[in-house]
Amino acid sequence: MKKEKFSVTGMTCSACSAAVERAVGQVDGVSSVNVNLLTNSMVVEYDESLLEPSGIISAVSDAGYAAALGSGSEAQAEARTVSHIDEEISAMKQRVIVSLAFMAALMYVAMGPMLGLPLPSFLLGLENAATMALLQFLLTLPVLYVNRQYFQVGFKTLWRKSPNMDSLIAIGSGAAVVYGVFALFRITYGLGHDQLDLVARYSHDLYFESATMILALITLGKFLEARSKGRTSDAIARLMDLAPKTATVLRNNQEVEIPVAELVEGDIIVIRPGQSIPVDGVIVEGSSAIDESAITGESIPVAKAVGDEVISATINKAGSFRFRATRIGDDTTLAQIIRLVEEAGASKAPIAKLADRISGIFVPVVIAIALAAFGIWLLLGHPFEFALTTAVAVLVISCPCALGLATPVAIMVGTGQGALHGILIKSAEALETAHSVDTVVLDKTGTVTEGKPQVTDVLPGPGLTAEELLQIGASLEKPSEHPLAEAIVARAAQDGLKLTEAAEFLAVPGKGIQARLGQQAYLAGNLAFMREHQIKLGEFEAHADDLAEQGKTPMYFADTQQVLGVIAVADLVKPTSKKAIAELKHLGVDVVMLTGDNRRTAEAIRRELEIGTVIAEVLPEEKEQEIRSLQEQGKTVAMVGDGINDAPALARADVGIAIGAGTDVALESADIVLVKNDLRDVATAIKLSKATLRNIKQNLFWAFFYNSLGIPLAAGLFFPLLGWRLSPMYAAAAMSLSSIFVVSNALRLRRFTPNR
Active-site residues, by number, are 443
Residue 653, SS3 per DSSP? coil
Instruction: Give the DSSP letter of residue 275.
Output: P
Q: Rounded distance, CA 619 to CA 640, Å?
A: 16
Sheet architecture: strand order including 563-573:
449-460, 563-573, 553-558, 520-525, 512-517, 503-508
What is the residue type of 70? G
The CA–CA distances, whole Å, from 682 to 297, 506, 562 equal: 15, 45, 49
What is the residue type of 736? S
**HEC-encoded secondary structure of 30-44:** EEEEEEECCCCEEEE
Sheet architecture: strand order including 423-425:
423-425, 672-674, 655-659, 637-641, 439-443, 590-594, 613-615
Q: Rounded distance, CA 182 to CA 20, Å?
A: 36
Q: Rounded distance, CA 41 to CA 35, Å?
A: 6
Residue 168, SS3 per DSSP? helix
Instruction: Give the DSSP letter of residue 574.
Output: P
Q: Are strands 288-291 and 302-304 parallel, antiparallel or unpaired?
A: antiparallel
The CA–CA distances, whole Å, from 538 to 461, 523, 525 equal: 10, 16, 16
Q: Rounded distance, CA 96 to CA 218, Å?
A: 9
Q: Which residues contact 46 (CB under 8 A, 6 or more apart)?
A: 1, 2, 4, 27, 29, 30, 31, 56
Instruction: Give the DSSP letter of residue 705.
Output: I
> Would the CA dihedral through 501, 503, 507, 511 be positive or negative?
negative
Using only C-alpha atoms, what is the Rg of the chain? 35
The DSSP secondary structure of 297-338, one letter per residue, reads ---SPEEE-TT-EE-TT-EEEE--EEEEEEE-GGGSHHHHHH
Q: Which residues contact 201 (CB under 8 A, 6 or more apart)?
A: none
Residue 313, Cβ neighbours under 10 Å: how many?
24
Q: Rounded distance, CA 240 to CA 171, Å?
A: 42
| C-beta of residue 606 within 8 angstroms of C-beta of residue 595 | no
Burial of 417 from C-beta contacts in 10 A (0-12 / 13-18 / 19+): buried
How far separated are the first and last CA of the chain, in Å rounded?
Answer: 44
Q: Rounded distance, CA 71 to CA 61, Å?
A: 19
Using the CB atoms, write b or e for 107-143: b if 16+ within 10 Å.
bebbeeeeeeeeeeeeeeeeebbbebbebbbebbebb
Residue 340, SS3 per DSSP? helix
Angle between helix axes 350-379 and 165-192 (nearest 10 degrees) is 20
